[in-house]
């Protein structure tokens, strides 16, 4: 029987990071609030040479063979950090990666949720056209502002996924439950470069949405928590997923609860080090689980909870393929994180406020960025990208 799902996954982030202990000291907070209470140890900081386009292209660059570039039928980019009100990030990615000319390209938006919509659209398309492949990229830069309570939950990066028939990582099961309600928990008006948020309310809505779609999922499928070997969450900060998981752990026995908690720890290793990726966060948690959980085996069922403020939630499951490790680049991901350069708080603050954006210094800054693709500046209101290697 033909199945459809995730064939390969890769991740990209910036080459700079901020230590959360340093940030806590600078903000007069107890470091344990950030490290344990929020669950973040490091945060990606974005230089002016990176944006949603370059992060997306850098993630997908590592993913695709020459043949796959020619075969891709759809390029779906999910983001809430788009660079243009009209032109999609997907078209820039198509050119930078020299992808199939005879492909569809589109950008999707619904806060952190749209990566999941992209994945479902890809699954549906490949189900109808099993000889085709779809590239889905979730790319974002999470910004709340200096000295805000959301600051510790910023982050950046992109996750690229190739969706195909008979996938080597996991089958996307046709069992989604989803819900939508007009809620003002987090939003970013078109003239704002930082998000507005009702932080505590947003965390409560997240938990409520999870409980409601999880209940509907159980009612429709007849599956319960015992049928799951891992539960993966959108991680705006890693304690958020832990809270949601703890809400449902009483539904299973102690031994299984302990194994779900161990799987959760594996799923938050990378997010702790880069922060919120918005659209990509759920998929970075999945990558982290697949790379760091030594108990995972083919055939196991993984629960996926996607949440996007505003608000929309979806729960669905994946069935792991025995070959899942072949679709990842675990060493590459660790190298990417370990080789980043640490910034002081003042250096982060200068970059955050965009002292270098659009200035003559930007070209110089892009030369220091080791990424394949960089933004070198803006000329005549047109963004200039360069492939460096």
Pick out the residues of the known binding site for (3S)-3-hydroxy-3-methylglutaryl-CoA. 30, 144, 243, 276
Residue among 52, 141, 240, 318 that touches ligand HMG (CB under 6 A): 240
- Told to judge if 80 belongs to the known catalytic residues of this protein, a careful annotator would answer yes
For ligand HMG, give the closer residue by CB, 167 or 236.
236
Tokens of 253: 């026995």
Q: Which of residues 75-94 bind ligand HMG (CB under 6 A)?
A: 80
- Told to judge if 234 belongs to the known catalytic residues of this protein, a careful annotator would answer yes
For ligand HMG, give the closer residue by CB, 197 or 291.
197
Q: Which of residues 356-385 bind ligand HMG (CB under 6 A)?
A: none
For ligand HMG, give the closer residue by CB, 8 or 239.
239
Residue 38 contacts ligand HMG per CB under 6 A: yes
Q: Which of residues 167-226 bind ligand HMG (CB under 6 A)?
A: 185-186, 197, 199-200, 202-203, 206
Q: Considering 7, 61, 71, 112, which one is annotated as catalytic?
A: 112
Q: Considering 7, 61, 234, 312, which one is annotated as catalytic?
A: 234
For ligand HMG, give the closer residue by CB, 82 or 327.
82
Minimum distance of ligand HMG from residue 111's CB (angstroms): 3
- Told to judge if 85 belongs to the known catalytic residues of this protein, a careful annotator would answer no
Residue among 25, 30, 295, 344 that touches ligand HMG (CB under 6 A): 30
Q: Which residues are catalytic?
A: 80, 112, 234
Q: Which residue ranges make up the site for ligand HMG (CB under 6 A)?
A: 30, 32-33, 36-38, 80, 111-112, 149-150, 152-153, 185-186, 197, 199-200, 202-203, 206, 234, 236-237, 239-240, 276, 278, 307-309
């Amino acid at each position: 029987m033909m199945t459809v799902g995730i064939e390969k996954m890769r991740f990209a982030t910036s080459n700079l990071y901020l230590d959360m202990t340093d940030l806590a000291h600078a903000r007069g907070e107890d470091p344990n609030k950030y490290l344990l209470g929020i669950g973040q140890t490091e945060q990606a900081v974005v230089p002016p040479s990176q944006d949603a386009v370059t992060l997306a292209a850098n993630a997908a660059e590592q993913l695709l063979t020459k043949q796959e570039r020619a075969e891709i039928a759809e390029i779906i980019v999910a983001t809430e950090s788009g660079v243009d009100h009209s032109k999609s990030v997907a078209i820039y990615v198509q050119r930078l990666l020299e992808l199939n000319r005879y492909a569809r390209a589109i950008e999707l938006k619904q806060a952190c949720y749209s990566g999941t919509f992209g994945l479902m659209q890809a699954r549906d398309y490949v189900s109808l056209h099993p000889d085709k492949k779809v590239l889905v990229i979730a790319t974002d830069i999470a910004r709340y502002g200096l000295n805000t309570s959301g600051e510790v939950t910023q982050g950046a990066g992109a996750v690229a996924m190739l969706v195909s028939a008979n996938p080597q990582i996991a089958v996307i099961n046709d069992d989604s439950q989803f819900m939508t309600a007009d809620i003002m928990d987090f939003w970013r008006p078109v003239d704002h470069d930082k998000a507005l948020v009702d932080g505590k309310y947003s965390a409560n809505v997240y938990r409520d949405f999870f409980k409601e779609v999880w209940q509907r999922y159980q009612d429709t499928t007849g599956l319960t928590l015992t049928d799951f070997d891992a539960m993966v969450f959108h991680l705006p900060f890693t304690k958020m997923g832990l809270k949601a998981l703890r809400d449902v752990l009483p539904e299973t026995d102690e031994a299984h609860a302990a194994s779900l908690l161990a799987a959760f720890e594996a799923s938050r290793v990378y997010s702790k080090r880069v922060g919120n990726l918005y659209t990509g966060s759920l998929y970075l948690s999945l990558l982290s689980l697949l790379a760091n959980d030594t108990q995972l085996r083919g055939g196991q069922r993984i629960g996926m909870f996607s949440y996007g403020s505003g608000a929309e939630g979806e729960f669905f499951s994946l069935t792991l393929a025995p070959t899942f490790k072949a679709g990842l680049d675990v060493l590459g991901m660790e190298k990417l994180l370990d080789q980043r350069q640490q910034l002081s708080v003042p250096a982060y603050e200068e970059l955050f406020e965009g002292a270098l954006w659009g200035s003559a210094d930007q070209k110089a800054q892009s030369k220091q960025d080791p990424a394949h693709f960089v933004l070198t500046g803006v000329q005549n209101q047109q963004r200039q990208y360069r492939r460096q290697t």
